[in-house]
Amino acid sequence: MSLPARIVDFAEALRAEGLAVGTSELLDAFAALEEVSWTDRAAFREALAATLAKSAEDRRVFELVFERFIFRATEAQAVARGVREASDSPPAAGAVAGQIDLDDLRERAIQAIRDGDESAMRDLARLAIAAFGRRGEGSGVLGVDVQRIRRALDLRGDTQPREDGDEPLTREQLRRFEQQLRRELERAQIERTQQLPPARALNELDRALPSGPLQDLAAVHRVVAQLKRRLATQGREARGRRSHAHVDVRRTMRASLQTGGVPVVLKFRPQRPRRPELYVLCDVSTSVTSASVFFLSVLHALHDSFRRMRSFVFVERISEVTGVFERERNFRAVSDAIGRDAGVADVSGYTDYGRVWSEFLALVEDDLHPRATVIVLGDARTNGRDPRADVFARIAARAGRTFWLNPEPQLYWDYGDSVVRAYAPFCELHECWTTPQLEDFVKALARPQHA
Amino acid sequence: MAAPPAHADAPTTVEAVDAGLRSAGYLPGASTALVAFLAVRLGKPVLVEGPAGVGKTELAKALATYLGRTLVRLQCYEGLDEAKALFEWNYRKQLLRIQAEAAGTGWDAVQDDIFGEEFLLPRPLMTAIASEEPVVLLIDEIDKTDQEFEAMLLELLSDFQISIPELGRIEARTHPVVLLTSNNSRELTEALKRRCLYLWLDYPCAEHELAIVRLHSPELPEAVAAKLVEVIAQVRELDLKKPPSIAESIDWARALLLLGAEEIDEEMFRSTMSIIVKHRTDLDVVSERVGVRLGLAPRPA
C-alpha cells in the first residue's frame, strides 16, 4: 500500500475515534509531509499531529491512534511476510523461563520505569510475560493479563512512600509500563494466531482525561466558563443597538458621510450586557449522593466565574452556602465545610421540595427580578410529600429564566416519587450528570428564548 | 489557494528554525520548531494553545526576531470589532475634505475621492496584510473575542485578503506568518481551526525548563536553578488556581539572583514564594504542602 493511501487510512481511523478530519486537513497533512523528512519518526508524527489534531484532547487521541496504527501496520507486514521471532531463544540474557528471579525482575522493572527507558521496559515486559504467561497462557483478554502481570510483579502506583524510602512510582510511569506489556502481549497473540485482531475503537477509559477528581474539576470549570459567556451575552442581539440613548459619535459621523457630513441618522452605542445574577439551588440529599459531588463542583466553578451569585444547598430545609464558597477556594475544603456546618443534615434526611421552595421564596423574594437566573440541581424526588409546584411557579415567574438540571437519566423521570413533570411547565429541564451534558446545557442556553 | 511566494529568507530545514529560535533567546521544544518551520514553509497560520505563561507570545516574538521581520500584534479582548482590528475610515479627514471642496466640486467626484486609501486608517490586521516587507502577525488570546470576530478572521487567514465594501478587495502584498494564541478559555470554531496548524504548548519537562531558566539567568548557580525547577514542578502538581508558568520560573530565578541566594532554604522559599504563586489561597496550599515535601521544617504553628 502506498504512503498516501496509508495516510488516508490513518485519517479514517482518526475519524472513527471522533476527530473532525476533513479533506482540507488531509491536504494540509500531505503538504506538511512534503516539507519534512519522513524517515524521521518524530518529525513525521509532529507534522501529522499539527495538521490533523486540533485540540489538546484531539492530540491525546491522535497519539493513541498513531501508536496503534503504526503497530498494527508493522505487525500486518510481519504476518504477511511470515517474519517470526526465533521462539526458542530466550528473550534476554540469563533468563531461562521458569527460573527468573522474581525480585530481581521487579527491581529491574522499577528501575526501568523510573528511568523511563522504553527499550529496557519492553525487554522486561517480555521477560515478565515469559515468566507469568506460561501459567495457563493468559486469560485471552489483554487488559486482564496486563493487570495480572502487574500485580504479580507487585508494581503499584502508591501515594505513600515505600518502606525502602524510594519515591513511589507515579500513575503515569506505571501506565507506560502497562502499555509496553499490552503491546508485547498483543504481539505474541498476533504471532500465535497469524492474524490481526479486529480493530476496536479505543475504549472510553483510554480516551477519558487522565482520571482523578482534580481533572474532572478542571473540565467542569471549563464548561462553566462557557456557561458564563452564554449567560453574560444572551439577549444582547434582542436588545439591539438603539434601545437607549448614548450617541456613538464615531459611528454617527461615519454615517453622516452619506449625507454630506450632516448627521441625519444618529447611531447609538451598543448596550453593555449587564452581569447576570444567579441563584443556584443544589440538592444534597442521599438520593443524589452520587451526583452531588458533581453538583458541588459545578457550584464551585460557578462561584469562580460569577461575583453576584448566591448558592443554596437543601435536603429537608434550605441553607445558604454563598459564604462558604467565598471563604474557601479549595474544593475539598468547601465540601467538608458544607457537610459539617451548612445545617442541612436534618432529622429525616429526606428531601422536602415544597418546604424548600417556600423557604427559598421567603429568603430571596425581594431580590428576585427579571434579570436573575435560577438554576436548580436536583432529582425532584419528594419522598411522597407535596411538590408545591405553585410556589415553584411563583419563583419562576419572578425570575428571568429558570433551569432545572436533573442528575437522573430521562428514563427514570416520573417513576416512583419523582415529580419532575410537575415542575416542567415552569422551567427548562435538562438531564445532566456528566460534563458533556453540562456542555449541552450551555449550548441550550444559547438557543433563543421562548418568550 | 495559491502556494505562498517563497522568500529568500525562508528556512529550509527544521534544524535551521530550531537554531534560529535559540539564537533569538527562545528554546523551542521538538514540536515547536517543527510547527514553526511548517508555518513558514506552508504559509499557514498556527494556532498555539496551552496554559498561560508557557511562552506562546514569546514564540511569536522570537520567530519575528529570527526571521528578521516586524511583529504586528493584535491583542484580542471582549468586544473587539472590525474598526479596531481591520481598518477604519478616517472620518475627520473625510469631513474636512468634503468641506474643503464643498463649493464647486460635484458630489460624484468627492465621493470617489473620500473612499480612497488615503482616508483609510489601517489597524493591525490591515497593517500586516499591506506591509511591503513580510511580517509576523500575532493575534493574541483569540479566545477572548466573540465568535463573530473569528468568522471575520476567516477570509484573512485562508486567502490573506480583506474585503472593504467601499474599496474592494485588498490582497496581501507579502505573506505574513500568522500565529494565533489561545488559553483555551472557550472552544474555538471548527472553521477557524481547520485553517490553522495546531500546536499545543505545555509546561516543559524538567531538563528543558532548567535550560530555559539558565538561558535567562546564566549567573544563577546551577544547583539553585536545578532546585528551583524541581520545586516549580512540585508546585504545579498541586491543585492550584494558577499553577506557576515558565514566566514565573524565570522571574523567580531573577529574584533569587538579586537576593544572592546560594540555596533555596525554607526562609528563602517563604519570602519569595509570592513570585510564583499569585493567589492567596494558593499561597496557603503551597506553604502547607511544598515545605513538607522539600524536607523543610514545617512552619511553627
Q: Which tens digit of pLDDT belongs to each residue from B169-213?
A: 888 888 889 999 988 766 777 888 888 999 988 888 888 889 998
**d(C-alpha A365, C-alpha A387), whole Å:** 19
pLDDT of A236 > 70? The answer is: no
Beta-carbon separation of B34 and A36 below 8 A:
yes
Which residue on chain B is closest to A23 by alpha carbon? B194
**DSSP letters spanning A260-328:** TT---S--BPPPPPPPPEEEEEEE-SGGGHHHHHHHHHHHHHHHHH-SSEEEEEESSSEEE-HHHHHH-
**d(C-alpha A128, C-alpha A123), whole Å:** 9
The string of pLDDT tens digits covering residues B86-103 is: 888 888 888 887 777 766
**d(C-alpha B148, C-alpha B59), whole Å:** 27
**d(C-alpha B294, C-alpha B234), whole Å:** 9
Domain borders along chain A are 3-81, 102-203, 240-272, 277-446
Q: Which residues of B touch A24 (CB under 8 A)?
A: 194
Q: Provide, rounded to the nearest whole percent, the portion of chain B with pLDDT above 90.
A: 13
The number of beta carbons lying within 10 Å of the beta carbon of residue A103 is 10
Tell me the C-alpha to C-alpha distance, in Å, between residue B256 and each of A392, A420, B177, B232, B269.
Answer: 60, 60, 37, 14, 10
**d(C-alpha B133, C-alpha B87), whole Å:** 19
The string of pLDDT tens digits covering residues B10-29 is: 778 888 888 999 988 888 88
Q: Which residues of A touch B41 (CB under 8 A)?
A: 35
**d(C-alpha A48, C-alpha A40), whole Å:** 12
Beta-carbon separation of A54 and B99 below 8 A:
no
Interface of B with A in 239-298 (CB under 8 A): 239, 241, 279, 281-282, 285
Q: Which three cell numbers stand for residue B150?
A: 473569528
**d(C-alpha A274, C-alpha A236), whole Å:** 9
| Strand bridging mode A428-431 / B177-182 | unpaired
Q: Which residues of B touch A47 (CB under 8 A)?
A: 34, 38
Class of domain A277-446: alpha beta
**d(C-alpha A141, C-alpha A118), whole Å:** 24
**pTM to 2 decimals?**
0.63
User: With bands split at pLDDT 50, 70 and 90, how would you rate the model's confidence at A316?
Assistant: confident
**DSSP letters spanning A207-231:** HSPS-SHHHHHHHHHHHHHHHHHHH
Backbone dihedral region of A154: left (phi > 0), alpha (psi from -120 to 50 degrees) or beta?
Answer: left
Interface TM-score (ipTM) > 0.85: no
Beta-carbon separation of B98 and A260 below 8 A:
yes
Beta-carbon separation of A59 and B200 below 8 A:
yes
B80 inside 8 A of chain A by CB:
no
Q: What SS3 class is residue B169? A: strand
Interface of A with B (CB under 8 A): 20, 22, 24-25, 28, 31-32, 35-36, 42-43, 46-47, 49-51, 53-56, 58-59, 214, 217, 222, 225-226, 229, 233, 250, 253-254, 257, 260-261, 304, 328-331
Residue type, A46: E
Beta-carbon separation of A20 and B281 below 8 A:
no
The distance of A318 to chain B (nearest Cα, Å) reads 28
Tell me the C-alpha to C-alpha distance, in Å, between residue B292 and each of A100, B286, B299.
Answer: 40, 10, 9
pLDDT confidence of residue B147: 75
Beta-carbon separation of B42 and A225 below 8 A:
no
**d(C-alpha A134, C-alpha B280), whole Å:** 57
The string of pLDDT tens digits covering residues A85-113 is: 544 444 444 444 445 567 777 777 777 77
Say which range, A199-208, B146-155, B212-221, B283-292, has the weakest mean pLDDT: A199-208
Beta-carbon separation of A222 and B184 below 8 A:
yes
Which CATH number applies to B14-81+123-200? 3.40.50.300
Q: Which three cell numbers stand for residue B195?
A: 485553517
CA angle centred on B57, ends B56 and B61, rounded to 5°? 120
